Amino acid sequence: MDGKNIVDLLNKRDEAALSYVKQLYGAGIMDIAFNILKNRQDAEEVLSDTLLTVWNNIPPDAPVNFPGYVYKTARNRALHVYRAKKQKKRSAVTVCIDELGDCISGGDVEGQIEERRLAELIDKFLSMLDTENRRIFISRFYYNMEYKQIAEKYGLGLSAVKMSVKRSKEKLKKLLDTEGY
């Protein structure tokens, strides 16, 4: 069963589609949610919310990249839960944003840069990276994975992952400086 077949089932309002989504993408959804929320129960809630959102949005939505759609929905749900809880402790998301903050002069990332322009520049930056460095960067700053998790996932040494992130951040900083940030 692939994404296109699942979308077809969803368009027919066949509830079996949700079972396929959970079977194929459930573990990834849980990983994304747990990496953001650091709480298994909240991650399970995000999984349920993601399934409901997919059910409610397809139709009329017809995503071209179904797995990307599912994972982006899960990430957005997890970030929504994270913000709603207004945790006093700094979690992985805050740490990741702060880590990128040193690439941008002026301090507060969210307050200084229009999200759309920053997203365009980050897309441009990601297209400049080779596949391995792009995977590492996305794992760290999109999926909020720890360095050790990234190293294990891609069969790399911990120091290689850290160095890749460091160099990628330097390249991002250079690009943003060139663009006036």
* Domain 3-85: assigned CATH number: 1.10.1740.10
Each residue's pLDDT tens digit, 46-55: 999 999 999 9
Contacts of 160 (CB under 8 A, 6+ apart): 151
Determine the pLDDT at residue 97. 59
Q: Residue 85 — pLDDT band, cuts 50, 70, 90? A: confident
The long-range contacts involving 126-131, CB below 8 angstroms and separated by at least 24 positions, are 128/171, 128/175, 129/168, 129/171
**Mean pLDDT, residues 159-172:** 94
Mean pLDDT of the chain: 83
Which residues in the chain are classed under CATH 1.10.1740.10? 3-85
**Mean pLDDT, residues 170-174:** 91
Determine the pLDDT at residue 114. 60
Cα distance from N-terminal residue to C-terminal residue, the chain? 45
Cβ–Cβ < 8 Å for 58, 97: no
Determine the pLDDT at residue 117. 75
Which residues in the chain are classed under CATH 1.10.10.10? 92-178
Could you confirm whether domain 92-178 is CATH 1.10.10.10?
yes
Residue ranges of the alpha helices (H) in the chain? 3-11, 16-37, 40-57, 66-85, 92-101, 109-112, 115-128, 131-141, 147-154, 158-178
Q: State how far the Cα of 82 lies from the Cα of 80, in Å rounded to an integer.
A: 5
Determine the pLDDT at residue 91. 43
